[in-house]
Amino acid sequence: MTEPAPKPVNRSMTDAGAWRSDRLDVDGYLARLGIPARPPGRAALDEIHERHVRTFTFDNADVLLRQHPGVDLDAVQEKFVGRGRGGYCFEHSTLLSAALEQLGYRVIRRLARVGDPAGGPVGTRTHLVVEVVLDGERLLCDPGFGMSIVRPVPLIDGHEEEQDGERFRVVRTHEGDVAAWQLQRLRGQGWEVQHTTDEIPVHPADVADGHHVTSTSPGSHFTTSLIVARRLPDRHVTLTSDGVTIRRPGAPTEHQDVSPGELREWLGILDPHLSAEETERLLAWAAEHRTVSQRPAGRPTTAG
């Protein structure tokens, strides 16, 4: 059964005021996605979500370049809408949630913990997702995860669906006494928990604090490893300082090391809309932090 939607909140205090969604140039955002404005509905929501994840890269380039502008809406829309850049979850979900509010959707921002609690310690609540309540149905939007859903999924315990050759499942759980939801992806060894989203209210300060941790902590993988990911028409590609992972529907996952020259080529393919100067600085950072194995660059391996 579909879980009951959360009780209505005072939108004038939480959304229009605190989140400042009215500052978004929603026409510019839709133009960047290449789609027109449509009345709220499931088909329109699916279209916006999918176009978003296919248009903007998931990357931490600005973190590594020590030039991150922050995750408030003004900074995010200048970066994404103005320059076509990408970023990570705090930016993606900040932009999508503001756009959906402008377009008439009921939006609830949620924080999640990444990782599988059964597999060991998990991190802090440093992943931002978006819940949309539409026609009485609760839907999880997750535009800012490196390998995640293409379209929203219903928050229904046990719900499964396939998207772009990947199978996802939603599981109802708890974080202590707080209701929560796991988003799981089917891997070769079984279901893997991507993250657990709780239902604790989220405020702008929570998002700013989470961004501070992930963008400055020496223990954050965003400060220690390059990642640029994008859904291309026929594959999902994740690029790091040392290698590339390619996933195609119905095919084994392919991993291969990359040389510095190949890293430049892959940046061109994924196109995170970096300037020439930013690209050179990022390549210099990657060269300094390479940890690649001795296997010849370009030689592929496969994994389930």
The residues that are catalytic are 89, 127, 142
| Chain mean position to CA 165 | 18
- Provide Rg for the chain, Cα atoms: 19
Task: Report d(CA 53, CA 162) in Å as an integer.
Answer: 16
Could you please report the per-residue DSSP string of 205-270? HHHHHHHHHHHH-TT-HHHHS-EEEEEETTEEEEEESSEEEEE-TTS-EEEEE--HHHHHHHHHHH
**DSSP letters for 168-195:** EEEEEEEETTEEEEEEEEEETTEEEEEE
Buried b (16+ CB within 10 A) or exposed e, 212-232: eebbeeeebebeeebbbbbbe
Beta bridge partners of 229: 58, 238
Q: Which amino acid is at 163?
A: Q
| 142 in Cβ contact with 162 (< 8 Å) | no
Phi and psi (nearest 5°) for 186?
Answer: -75, 120
Tokens of 42: 């499931």
In the DSSP assignment, the letter for residue 111 is E
Distance of CA 178 to the CA centre of its chain: 24
